[in-house]
């Protein structure tokens, strides 16, 4: 079952079935909510998020593409500020519901492309971004499924599955600090901005405050980003409450840094993330 409503001139699709409920904005193909049946919300949204054309939504699952990071503008690419096209909703034999959105044009695009994004809500929530280069020359792209998970308190967040993985510490504004290796599980007591490289590992996010654990799987990605802005960066962002860093953690399937992808003409790449409450 699905419903469509319009908020501030933006179409929002609500999916509902026996497994739960999800909301997806056509602005940015952005999943803003997922509430599995009998569970608290899995995704976090800022109370100060913009929700208007031309501005990125803060929280949920932003689609970052065709570049990752702030070296080019807009930060994290144009896909998350474009209006995507509704392509259909499908009821799958397993009882899951799938929404399909497409994007074929963008004012900031410098090569022809076709992007398809599907959101499948069943026992798990699965998001899949597939992009094809429809131009005549190779292009280099990067991106991420920039998932914001809700937390009871950041002090209670634990992330496992990346033990032994190398990472870049991106807290330094002008340069990337490389050569770090994760030792054990991740706990957060300061700003965290890490790009874990050469890893396809599944991650388990545990919230000690609620006792809930969440499995985060991915496809088409050899990098995983873990991010929390902490005090100073939270205060500096107009669409992020000063104290909201306590309430969230980002765990992202990414193609970034050494994992950028070269798309030759006619070739596509798929980046996917699957989220399951254990």
**Which amino acids are annotated catalytic?**
146, 252
Cβ atoms of 161 and 224 within 8 Å: the answer is no
Query: What does DSSP assign to residue 84?
Result: P
51: closest CA among 87, 86, 6?
6
Instruction: Answer whether 192's CB lies under 8 Å from 157's CB.
Output: no
Largest CA distance in the chain: 52
Phi first, then psi, for residue 73 (nearest 5°) are: -110, 140
End-to-end Cα distance, the chain: 25
d(CA 169, CA 171): 6
Say if residue 241 is exposed, middle or buried (CB neighbours under 10 Å; 0-12, 13-18, 19+). Answer: middle
Cα atoms in the Cβ-side hemisphere of radius 13 Å centred on 97: 20
Helix (H) or strand (E) holding 232: helix 230-236
Residue 9: both structure tokens together:
């001139």
């Amino acid at each position: 079952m699905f419903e469509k409503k319009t908020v501030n001139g933006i179409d929002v699709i609500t999916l509902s079935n026996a497994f739960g409920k999800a909301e997806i904005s056509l602005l940015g193909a952005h999943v803003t909510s997922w509430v599995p049946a009998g569970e608290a919300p899995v995704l976090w949204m800022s109370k100060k998020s913009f929700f208007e054309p031309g501005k990125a939504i803060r929280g949920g699952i932003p689609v970052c593409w065709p570049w990752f990071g702030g070296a080019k503008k807009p930060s994290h690419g144009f896909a998350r500020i474009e209006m995507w096209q509704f392509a259909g909703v499908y009821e799958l034999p397993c009882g899951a519901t799938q929404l399909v959105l497409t994007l074929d044009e963008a004012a900031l695009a410098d090569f022809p492309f076709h992007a398809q994004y599907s959101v499948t809500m069943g026992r798990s929530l699965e998001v899949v971004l597939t992009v094809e280069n429809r131009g005549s020359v190779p292009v280099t792209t990067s991106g991420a499924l920039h998932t914001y998970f809700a937390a009871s308190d950041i002090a209670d967040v634990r992330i496992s599955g990346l033990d032994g993985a190398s990472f870049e510490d991106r807290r330094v504004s002008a340069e990337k600090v490389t050569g770090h290796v994760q030792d054990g599980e991740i706990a957060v007591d300061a700003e965290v901005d890490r790009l874990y490289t050469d890893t396809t590992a599944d991650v388990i996010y545990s919230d000690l405050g609620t006792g809930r654990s969440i499995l985060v799987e991915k496809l088409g990605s050899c990098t995983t980003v873990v991010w929390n802005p902490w005090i100073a960066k939270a205060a500096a962002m107009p669409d992020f409450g000063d104290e909201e860093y306590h309430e969230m953690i980002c765990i992202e399937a990414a193609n970034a840094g050494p994992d950028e992808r070269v798309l030759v003409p006619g070739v596509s790449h798929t980046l996917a993330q699957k989220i399951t409450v254990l």
